[in-house]
Chain A
């Protein structure tokens, strides 16, 4: 019997996987993403939206699931990124990759500045502050009509082909692959962070902030760093959505956006990286199906579902899976 380690390539892969604590199941989202490209060619535009939004939920998971910062204003960074990329593309600079970079930097800067001010507070006050930062930005975008288009949204975005080669097509093929690649890079970054000593200390802060202070960890600085990185990633996600949809509306900064991304993440499960993948995909596919039947009911059912998840299924889909696995183990 030939063991995997007998074959040099497989052995190399094996060692790589072990060093980076990679599990076989972690390839699953990407297998599905590739399969989705071929199986659902008519839904690639929706697929691109899903992939872009997963990055947004992933960035929220970094602050909420790992650092334990409850925020109702994460759309502030998503929107900053979306408007940065949108305004660039509407004013003659439609190069998408530098647009993403600029969006990440702008959102990261907003995260750094607002985080430095508001992260000193805790509990409801912090919740309020996150809400207020997003509300202020939204009001700015609403009133700066000449730059942002105000309530009508930003018109006239012209996004150039990626690397000068791949034009954004009507079917969303380019958009889908573009979003998937950026999401993969985002996941690698977040994954590296949460498995690093820095990421472990974030979990420590979430679990017991006083003790982390007591052991001498620079709590405030670490929270701020996590918040800034998360903001930058959220900004990149906003830019992705803006570039692929070629439109930016005021909704990107709204409370609804912050609330729904929170709900998506909770449905998947927080603090586990892949909760974002599951939650966003389930939510957005269900919403898309539902919108065809009756969009009016959608909010009612998602709200009801949310309450049920909080009362009976804490930990979301991944939490349920974990519980089922434990139950199975006990039984056997």
Chain B
């Protein structure tokens, strides 16, 4: 009994940590897809860029972890703004196929570029001693880093929800997701709104990528290897939703962890089957707009 309980706690803990990483990376994708109807397959590349930026700045510039994290977010945001202006903007409202192809091309470019600069081996991210090691909570030992990850995730999620529910910017985003033309007629500068949400989504992805390196290793194929996971979170959660991807990330994170504990021989098969079943039941996702 005690063993079962500790297994359950362990699964919940690690599943929650994985869910936080998946949510941070995917929420931006959900908002940009819901807002602009843009199929951005390359979103994971921003997460990977965050990871690479952190490891490079820590090892080459000797920056401490948190400074490197902040700098990585700034770099990725700048890069995403440039890409948005240069490439994405041209394809808003274009055929879905063109968006798929363009972002697929971007993914391939990041695979080549990352191999060129960092080689095929996974880049380790060494968190500082402060958040390393084990921590005791309620008589049980937990890895400090993952506890930190969960707390970080909760803090960011709360901030994000407050920003979207309580600020003027958030109201504009929600209005534009609900009805783009109406929002434009009301005088909301939607093209600036697009750029800002795109940058915000990329910033969160960069954080998720850098913080989640022990779940999703920083390798050149990152954007391609994890694409299915990010898309599952977004489509199961529902496009344009903030809450939906959170529920989906929790579902996937905990299911994935539980399966790895109990039936490792099944691998990710059940996750895919689960996601497919949910999508057939509700094609617009759990919290998608009807």
- Seen from chain A, the residues whose Cβ lies within 8 Å of a Cβ on chain B are 64, 70, 72, 117-118, 120-121, 123-125, 127-129, 131-133, 135-136, 139-140, 142-143, 255-256, 259, 262-263, 266, 296-307, 309-311, 314
Contact = CB atoms under 8 A, between A and B. Distances in A.
Interface residues of B, number: 43
B101 A306 contact: yes
Contacts of B235: 124-125, 128
B275 interface: yes
Contact of A132 (B91, B108, B272): B272
Contacts of B228: 131-132, 135, 255
A244 B121 CA distance: 32
A307 B106 contact: yes
Contacts of B231: 128, 131
B40 to A, nearest CB: 11
A143 B267 contact: yes
A143 to B, nearest CB: 5
Given A255-B224, A306-B105, A310-B105, A128 B279 contact: yes
B100 A299 contact: no
Contacts, number: 131
Contacts of B90: 311
Interface in B103-118: 104-113, 115-116
B102 A311 contact: yes
B280 interface: yes
Given A124-B239, A139-B268, A297-B112, A314 B273 contact: no
A314 B112 contact: no
Q: Could you tell me the dominant secondary structure of chain A's interface residues?
A: helix
B219 to A, nearest CB: 13
Nearest to B279: A125
B38 to A, nearest CB: 10
B129 to A, nearest CB: 36
Contact of B112 (A123, A132, A136, A301): A301
Contacts of B254: none
A124 B43 CA distance: 15
